[in-house]
């Protein structure tokens, strides 16, 4: 029998010659319990037809008649509605997705035995999810934030997940700090409001994040859309070979659409006019055949060089200079198909750096090690123990007799022997790679927290002096972006933050201090004006306005009129 694929599923012909649709899973497997004609009727969970899904059983044929619990259709619909949502992601809750492929454009067999990189021209299907980081589901997409770029490559040797960012550096290098970082960049748990004092106090206490802050408050953190942003692995990974040799690698994925950014004012305006702009832009480009693409580059580092290099290659707060580790192109990512169901695909897709394949491996990077556990654990909480069986997450091959049962287990193909090895069920073992010497460790178990070093300010200083200085207006934008955000924090927190930026460059700290106090004074004037308006009194502080016009530094001194202005959590 010949089958034709349609949006609803699979089409064939019944015994009477009528065309029938069958709902299928993503890989084409027939769902036997669901079938419907080309003009389908509505069915209950049991498969029984429903005459009118909008009607409900009542006592008496009238509006005032009470409803009955025996109305199976009504009860099932409400129960289903109550359970439509799953817990949103702790980070990267706001996101969108698309299908595409990864294509090898340069030979990489000298550094890795990964099958998906084994031949120039080879294509591997993938699913991509792009997101903001701190914002909740439904928050505006153009806000100042790090963007997440995650890719699930469906290789013949398993699923490989790349969970990357729009910035080349991260805010921490000690995994234990991750919960504090997440909490500090979310809303105040008492007020449910953004808290700028809490935000800046955290970074004042964790100044190794200064490189991250320099990127966050530049225009690079407000890209015009996902298509015009570059992507970075941030963490260091390993390319491995079957002979036991390996190389370290950091990925840089460059947009073929070029880089375009919004100013702070443009980002705010767009957030108010169209909070879904970035999702809409990606969807419309793909729908109109304007398929976005990125070229994938790797910085290859030999173990011998890594051991002696001046920068710790496992420190995600730092980048590796391209003059020492050139970018080597090897792949291209193309997105060419929109999602068919946003919830089933973009919401239920589950990424984890722990999803690796032969030829690609983790490293001792402490943040990467933490992520390898945290992502998998978060998916089990969010989607259930068998989330890997969902069509969007399912690898091409997945058989393990030791992994069994649990809620919503619908594969049922683990066999009769729930142990290994077994005399009754022969299993072929995968070919083993030789052990890499790097995996041999010898040392004492200690409690360790990294310390701030003067070297932590070297790369932020280079970013300020050599990169932003060559881009017209970008230094000024960074200063104003910081000042506008920092002005809403308490005065002592503001002063400590200005001193932190001053360690990057004295002129930078000075400019941020002046701009911040100017913004803070404007906020104080607005608060006093509001108080005078409530009292129906005229407000004309000529000396203050004159000072503002002259761009002079003015300490905030309206506490007598606005006594609550300094409370943590209060943002005006």
Comparing 81 with 295, which gets the higher pLDDT? 295
Q: What is the pLDDT of residue 426?
A: 75
pLDDT (0 to 100) of residue 406: 80
Residue 240 has pLDDT above 60, yes or no: yes
According to the model, what pLDDT value does residue 540 have?
59
Please, is 538 exposed, middle or buried when counting C-beta atoms within 10 Å of its C-beta (0-12, 13-18, 19+)? exposed
103: helix, strand or coil: strand
Beta bridge partners of 151: 128, 162
Query: For 437-462, what is the mean pLDDT?
Result: 86
Give the pLDDT score at 542.
53
Considering 43, 92, 183, 505, which one is annotated as catalytic? 92
Q: Give the pLDDT mean for 289-300.
A: 99
Q: Which residue has the higher pLDDT, 2 or 383?
A: 383
* 99 classed as catalytic: no
Does the CA dihedral 466-259-159-374 come out positive or negative? positive
pLDDT at 91 over 90: yes
pLDDT of residue 428 exceeding 80, the answer is: no
DSSP-derived secondary structure letter, 347: I
Say which residues have a Cβ less than 8 Å from residue 308's Cβ, sequence separation at least 6: none
| Mean of all residue pLDDT scores within the chain | 86
pLDDT of residue 567: 35
375 is in an annotated binding site: yes
Q: Which CATH architecture has domain 95-171+206-389?
A: Beta Barrel (2.40)
The structure's pTM equals 0.85
**Least confident among 90-104, 142-156, 529-543:** 529-543
pLDDT category of residue 529 using cuts at 50, 70 and 90: confident
Per-residue pLDDT at 536 exceeds 50: yes
Q: What does the alpha-carbon distance between residue 214 and residue 211 come to, in Å, rounded to a whole number?
A: 5
Backbone angles phi, psi at 488, to 5 degrees: -85, 0
pLDDT tens by residue, 392-408:
999 988 777 777 778 88
- Edge-to-edge strand ranges of the sheet holding 4-5: 4-5, 10-13, 19-24, 30-37
DSSP codes of every residue in 375-401: HHHHHHHHH-TTGGGSTTT--S----T
Q: Which residue in 61, 60, 58, 80 sits closest to 69, CA to CA?
A: 58
**533 band by pLDDT with thresholds 50, 70 and 90:** confident
Q: Exposure string (b/e) for 461-488, b if CB count within 10 Å is 16 or more?
A: bbbbeeebeeeeebbebbbbbbbbbbbb
Q: Is the pLDDT of residue 256 over 60?
A: yes
Residue 129: band (very low, low, confident or very high) from pLDDT cuts 50, 70, 90: very high
What are the counts of helices (DSSP H) followed by strands (DSSP E) for the chain? Answer: 14, 16
Does residue 274 register a pLDDT over 80? yes
- Tell me the pLDDT band of 436, cut-offs 50, 70 and 90: low
Residue ranges per structural domain of the chain: 4-57+76-82, 95-171+206-389, 463-549
If one compares 71 and 131, the residue with the highest pLDDT of the two is 131
pLDDT score for 90: 95
């Amino acid at each position: 029998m010949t089958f034709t694929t349609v949006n609803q599923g699979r089409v064939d012909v019944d015994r009477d010659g009528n065309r029938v649709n069958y709902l299928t899973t993503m890989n084409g497997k027939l769902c036997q319990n669901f079938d419907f004609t080309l003009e389908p009727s509505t069915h209950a969970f049991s498969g029984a037809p429903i005459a009118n899904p909008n009607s409900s059983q009542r006592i008496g044929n009238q509006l005032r008649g009470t409803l009955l619990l025996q109305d199976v259709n009504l009860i099932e619909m409400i129960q289903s509605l109550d359970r439509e949502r799953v817990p949103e992601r702790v980070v990267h809750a706001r996101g969108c997705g698309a299908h595409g492929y990864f294509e090898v454009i340069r030979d990489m067999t000298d550094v890795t035995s990964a099958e998906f990189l084994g031949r120039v021209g080879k294509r591997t299907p993938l699913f991509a999810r792009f997101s903001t980081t701190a914002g909740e589901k439904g928050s505006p997409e153009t806000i100042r934030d790090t963007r997440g770029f995650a890719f699930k490559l469906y290789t013949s040797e398993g699923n490989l997940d790349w969970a990357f960012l729009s910035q080349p550096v991260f805010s921490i290098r000690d995994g234990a700090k991750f919960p504090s970082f997440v909490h500090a960049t979310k809303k105040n748990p008492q007020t449910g409001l953004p808290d700028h004092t809490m935000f800046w106090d955290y970074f004042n206490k964790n100044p190794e994040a200064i490189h991250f802050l320099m990127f966050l408050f530049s225009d690079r953190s407000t890209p015009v859309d996902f298509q015009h942003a570059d992507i970075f692995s941030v963490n260091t990974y390993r390319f491995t070979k079957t002979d036991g040799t390996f190389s370290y690698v950091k990925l840089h994925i460059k947009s073929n659409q070029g880089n375009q950014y919004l100013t702070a004012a443009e980002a705010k305006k767009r957030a108010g006019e169209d909070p879904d702009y970035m999702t809409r832009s990606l969807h419309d480009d793909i729908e109109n055949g304007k398929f976005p693409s990125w070229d994938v580059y790797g910085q290859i580092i030999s173990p011998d060089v890594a051991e002696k290099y001046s920068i710790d290659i496992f420190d995600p707060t730092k980048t590796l200079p391209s003059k020492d580790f050139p970018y080597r192109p090897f792949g291209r990512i193309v997105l060419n198909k929109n999602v068919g169901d946003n919830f089933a695909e973009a919401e239920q897709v589950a990424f984890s750096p722990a999803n690796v394949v032969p030829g690609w491996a983790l490293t001792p990077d402490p943040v990467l090690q933490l992520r390898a556990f945290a992502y998998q654990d978060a998916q089990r909480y969010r989607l259930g123990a068998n989330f890997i069986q969902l069509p969007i997450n399912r690898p091409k091959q997945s058989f393990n007799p030791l992994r069994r049962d649990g809620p919503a287990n619908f594969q049922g193909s683990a066999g009769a022997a729930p142990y290994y090895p077994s005399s009754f069920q022969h299993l072929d073992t995968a070919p083993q790679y030789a052990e890499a010497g790097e995996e041999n460790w010898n040392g004492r178990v200690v409690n360790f927290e990294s310390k701030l070093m003067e070297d932590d300010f070297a790369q932020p200083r280079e970013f300020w002096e050599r990169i932003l200085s060559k881009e017209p207006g970008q230094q000024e934008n960074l200063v104003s972006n910081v000042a506008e955000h920092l002005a809403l924090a308490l005065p002592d927190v503001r002063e400590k933050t200005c001193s932190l930026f001053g360690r990057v460059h004295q002129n930078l700290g000075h400019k941020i201090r002046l701009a911040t106090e100017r913004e803070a004074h404007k906020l104080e004037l607005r608060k006093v004006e509001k108080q005078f308006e409530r009292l129906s009194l005229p407000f004309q502080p000529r000396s203050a306005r004159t000072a503002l016009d002259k761009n002079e530094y003015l300490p905030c001194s309206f506490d007598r009129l606005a006594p609550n202005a300094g409370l943590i959590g209060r943002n005006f």
